[in-house]
Amino acid sequence: MKTIVLGPPGTGKTTTMLNKVDDHLKTTDPNKIGYFAFTQKAAYEARDRAMEKFNLSEDDLPYFRTLHSLAFRRLGIKKESVMQKTHYEDLGKRIGFPVDYMEYEDEEGGIFTTKSDYLRILQLAKLRNISFERQYDLKEHTQDVEFDKLRILAHELERYKKEHTLIDFNDMILNFVKSDASSNGTWLKAFGINQATLILQAMMIRLSLDGPALMWIVLLLKQVKF
């Protein structure tokens, strides 16, 4: 059974999901329950509330985490294999213009922050599984973006990652989707995803489900952009 819970902030989505967790704890071990959020803050908030509500420890809830963290752990990725600030700075020097970098809560957080619409366009294109040209044509960016610079950055970024054997957090999702690690039919799936409109993450959820697992998806309505 798959259920989608819709609602803006403060309407009880997390409470609803924790109530469902409560129901299934009667027949499911806590370490077989996955609650995945887009941000570390949201995942930890749900985990802490579950710990208090169900009198559990942090070790009892190993799968209350972000989707990127799930991929990070299941694929055995190391921090030094992930693009960092210094890599984006080095890339900018190579192509002749600054590249504002992605910053993360930690090596597993997966929080994308950038002041550059160039990187944002490339990130959204990959997560939506569309070309950067199509994402550019959607005109969702607010800054002046030169298409030729965008094309150069898109090409050089992929070449830089290949040259240095690096991945970014979007690649984590792609690699997870393609791997056997994304399937585990024994889990009860309780997904809380504020930015679940990103197509790759939806693909990741579908591939994580195998058989009669239960999936709960929470969407933040004002961020829905199908």
What is the mean predicted confidence (pLDDT) over 116-126?
86
Residues 144 and 211 reside in one and the same domain: no
pLDDT tens digits, one per residue of 128-138: 778 999 999 99
CB atoms within 10 A of CB 136: 21
Q: Name which residue leads in pLDDT, 17 or 102.
A: 17
Residues 181 and 70 reside in one and the same domain: yes
The structural domain count of the chain equals 2
Q: What is the CATH number of the domain that holds 207?
A: 3.40.50.300
- Residue 55 φ/ψ, nearest 5 degrees: 55, 50
User: Is residue 198 predicted with pLDDT exceeding 90?
Assistant: no
Residues 140 and 108 reside in one and the same domain: yes
> Across all residues in the chain, what is the average pLDDT?
75
What is the mean predicted confidence (pLDDT) over 77-103?
86
Q: Look at residue 104 in the predicted model and tell me its pLDDT.
A: 53
Residues 159 and 137 reside in one and the same domain: yes
User: Is residue 211 predicted with pLDDT exceeding 70?
Assistant: no
Residue where a domain stops, chosen among 166, 186, 215: 166
Question: Cβ(7)–Cβ(25) under 8 Å?
Answer: no
What is the mean predicted confidence (pLDDT) over 194-221?
45
Q: Name the residue type at position 185.
A: G
Residues 157 and 101 reside in one and the same domain: yes
Tracing tokens 């967790």 back to the chain, one arrives at: 21
Domain range enclosing 22: 2-76+174-223
Q: Look at residue 202 in the predicted model and tell me its pLDDT.
A: 54
Residues 203 and 155 reside in one and the same domain: no
pLDDT tens digits, one per residue of 134-182: 999 999 888 899 999 999 999 999 999 999 999 987 888 778 777 776 6
What is the mean predicted confidence (pLDDT) over 46-67?
87
Q: Name the residue type at position 207.
A: L
Residues 99 and 128 reside in one and the same domain: yes
Residues 86 and 62 reside in one and the same domain: no
Q: DSSP H helical segments within 82-137, as ranges? A: 85-95, 117-128, 132-137
Tracing tokens 């830089």 back to the chain, one arrives at: 160
Residues 45 and 87 reside in one and the same domain: no
Residue where a domain stops, chosen among 166, 182, 207: 166
Residues 162 and 187 reside in one and the same domain: no
Q: What share of the chain is helix, strand, coil (3-state, %, to 5)?
A: 50, 10, 35
Residues 12 and 72 reside in one and the same domain: yes
Residues 153 and 204 reside in one and the same domain: no
